[in-house]
Amino acid sequence: MSEGRSGTVFGLAFSTNLVPTPGERDIIHEWLSKAIQCDKDKVPISRVPMSKSYLKITGVNFYTPTDWHDNGSNQLTADDVLYVMNHNPLFENITLASPPCVMRATPHSDMAIIWFDIWDSQNGTNAKLLTNRSFNFDKDVAVIRACNMHPGISQCQNCWK
């Protein structure tokens, strides 16, 4: 799993009349490494424009063991979620579009809801692979659910006018 990054490394862009298949992207990657005379492993993998899919993880405790954090805090953080995702094969080929957002399920609940966005195809291929899958999150059994966009900060409709 990798976290989304912004910016360009080489500053190259290719225009195509069709979205390249993974095999065609491999050809572009190999050609580019030969053209700039660089080791293939040092050339970034080309990416195509993608859509975002919005998912959430439920069934996770908001409070963590205090030994998870250097400062003795016991609240689940986005870094904790990233650590678990990076060590779980379920998220191996998933690229996050932004850092995960951890919230309490209700103001007085000890359970958390973790909102996260992934880069996906228009068909939602990656989201379909993750939706309704369960995995171990420390001692909890977490479940991934599909959801609508969740911006994290609510705005009243007057602000949009």
Share of the chain above pLDDT 90, in %: 37
pLDDT tens string 60-108? 999 887 777 777 788 999 999 999 999 999 998 888 988 999 999 998 9
- pLDDT higher than 90, residue 112: yes
Q: At CA 9, angle to CA 8 and CA 11, rounded to 5?
A: 60
State the Cα–Cα distance between residues 101 and 112, nearest whole angstrom: 10
The overall average pLDDT reported for the chain is 81
| pTM to 2 decimal places | 0.67
Confidence of residue 118 (pLDDT cuts 50, 70, 90): very high
pLDDT tens string 129-158? 999 999 999 889 999 999 987 555 555 555
pLDDT tens string 53-71? 999 999 999 988 777 777 7
Domains, the chain, in order of start with CATH, read: 12-49 (no CATH), 51-146 (3.30.70)
